[in-house]
A and B are shown apart, each in its own frame.
Chain A
Amino acid sequence: MNGPIVQPRVPAVPLLAVEDLRIGFGAHQPVSGVGFDVREGETLAIVGESGSGKSLTALSIMGLLPSSARIAPGSSIRFEGREISALSVKDARALRGGSIGMIFQEPMTCLNPVMTIGDQVAEALRQHQPLTRKAAKARAVELLDLVRIPDPHRRVADYPHQLSGGMRQRVMIAIAVACGPRLLIADEPTTALDVTIQAQVLDLIDRLRRELSMAVLLITHDLGVVAQWADRVVVMYAGRKVEQGEPDPLFARPLHPYTQGLLTASPRLDDNFHYSDGPLNEIPGSISSVAGQVGCAFAPRCAHACTACRETIPVLHHLTDGRQVACPVLITEEHRVAAFHR
């Protein structure tokens, strides 16, 4: 009895746990009941089109929502087990830029045009660490080197307008990881960048994830990026999570009609399908027709929709391999069994 007991290694608490997150602007609720968690060291991707609420979700974790936005009571965001909304102003600030770093879509406008990049990196350092001006500057050069900015000693005195888009995004990353965060939130980090630069930046983020042993929450609309870089994927549609799973099974066998639609609607680089062979699969309609509608938000565009879909919001079904899907129609017994046997 007193002998050593080998505990199964179960992570006690996820690094970040979001539950029933609802964000409203007046009567309008662009995020309505989203939950997911991010484990230590993993890359979780949230994928969705514009209007899916993915960026608001990210901003709410950082406490950066616009002032007109309200997080509904009952929503919960816990970081390392602590409820973020319960933190004091000071603790919340310590979290931002300290334990959680964030990078944004537009590297052009996200840096202050009248401050040198070195000062902007150093500022993040000095906010969270007791460093002298000189030490912070030296550390800033190291960080610029870490994010592979060539010639960091010289570049540290540059202003943002002297850098290319890719370089600016590297500076943003340097700022975000300056204090060794546990979690990096990347909100469409490469959307504004060229494809060869995008590959470099994503490569960099993933390398830093490993080197600094942090988790990454990747917000994107690009399924290719998700498939290539994520450990787990959350698919959002009109403010709700519609599907979750690991990328390989999710993309090989999407269960939600929306995920299916997205995958078949996009031409794929690896397949030989050509316009002369036939039209692409379409998802009819658009997301903007959602407002004021009861039932499943995707129902008006869904080929499988039944009466029930138009009346009640489908619950999230948890399948045994960790997959989740918010559609009752396509989960047949067969899927369930398949899920069990995996």
Chain B
Amino acid sequence: MQPESVTQFQPVPAKPSGEPPLVAVPVEATPAPSIIVPLPGLSVPAIPVPAIPLSGPRPRGAKRALATVRRNPLALAGGTILILMALIGLFAPLLFPGDPLAIVAEPFIWPGSDAAHPLGTDSLGRDLLSGIAHGAGVSLRVGLSATALGLVIGVGIGAVAGYFGGWTDAVLSRLIEIFQTLPNFVMLVVLVAIAQPSVTTLSIAIAVVTWPTVARLARAEFRSIREKDFVMAARSLGFGHGRIILSEILPSALPPLIVTASVMVASAILMESALSFMGLGDPNVVSWGSMIGSGREYLRTAWYMCALPGFAIMLTVLALNLIGDALNEILNPRSHEDRR
């Protein structure tokens, strides 16, 4: 149920294959052999590709982004939902002061039947709307911090492995592989069971199980970009490793990572909710998952207690994925340049 790999939307290049090394293939099309070797410099008698001349300079980043958003109302909807959720989460303490876990009314008030509690109350008489509002903050906080941490670890390890290659890569790749083989959610359950569940430990645990995906992607990107001529040029100009990694390669490797990041936030929210649903979340805060978990017993009579917070999760995650799609369209050159 939880995303095992958050980058499924990019087509995965065919597995390592024995592409003949002697033929003129663009470096990025050469699937990874298990040991990194510098690709022999082969002279490609490359020659003008029949291309249609572009009329004038291509629209630049911001302009293209705007155009994409205008073409894609779904992305706009996603953005709106997300901003709304963020605002609700941010201002929940002001909008719904008081502990969302406090009992405020009769239990089992159905949504819509009491104006004071528009979304009803749960089995203990806690206000669902207040819970959902406060839960938004928790979900987004966990989602963002887990993603940030996962990105830092993943990009760091992936970049080093991909850029330096050799035994560094061999060791780090093995580490990535180990963490990828451990079934994600089982591992997550173990981690949370060990640590005392809190928003912080949940975020760390989720980062620990998601970084390998980022690392793999970053490694692949760095590997292919470091073989590009402009990186060769930087090396031939005497640039240091740090400058090459940060200033030359990273900007080009970033687009797919940004797309991944938005999807990672989504999957972190899903993971957090699943953990909380199972009672492994932070017991001191209200979370969408834990609301569903506590409503589960009353599924037969008061299914709205599960339905409503679940809907909030779906909406938020959907919004993030819509944004991820739009980012992919804007940032992934393949999706718009090959169309002729």
Contacts and interface: CB of A to CB of B under 8 A. Distances in A.
Contacts of B284: none
Interface stretch (A131-139, A188-196, A245-253, A259-267): A188-196
Contacts of B25: 108
Contacts of B17: 161
Given A68-B339, A161-B17, A193-B45, A291 B23 contact: no
B15 interface: no
Interface string B23-62: 1110000000000000000001111111111111000000
B31 to A, nearest CB: 11
Interface residues of B, number: 23
Interface string A271-302: 00000000000000001101110000000000
A30 interface: yes
B23 A164 contact: yes
Interface of chain A: mostly helix, strand, loop or mixed: loop
Contact of B45 (A108, A192, A292): A192
A30 B52 contact: yes
A332 to B, nearest CB: 32
Interface residues of A, number: 31
A33 interface: no
A188 B24 contact: no
Contacts, number: 60
Contact of A287 (B20, B45, B53, B339): B53
Given A56-B50, A108-B24, A68 B18 contact: no
Interface string A59-71: 0000000101100
B300 interface: no
Given A68-B339, A161-B19, A25 B24 contact: no
A240 interface: no
A8 to B, nearest CB: 40
B29 to A, nearest CB: 9
Contacts of A66: 340
A49 B48 contact: yes
Contacts of B339: 68
Contacts of B18: 161
5 contacts: A25-B340, A56-B50, A161-B20, A188-B50, A191-B47
Given A30-B53, A56-B52, A192-B46, 4 more contacts: A51-B51, A164-B23, A191-B45, A192-B45
Interface of A: 25, 28, 30, 49-51, 54-56, 66, 68-69, 105, 108, 161-162, 164-165, 187-188, 191-195, 221, 287-288, 290-292
Please provide the 5 A-B residue pairs with the shortest distance between their CB atoms, ordered closest to farther.
Answer: A50-B48, A55-B50, A291-B55, A51-B53, A66-B340
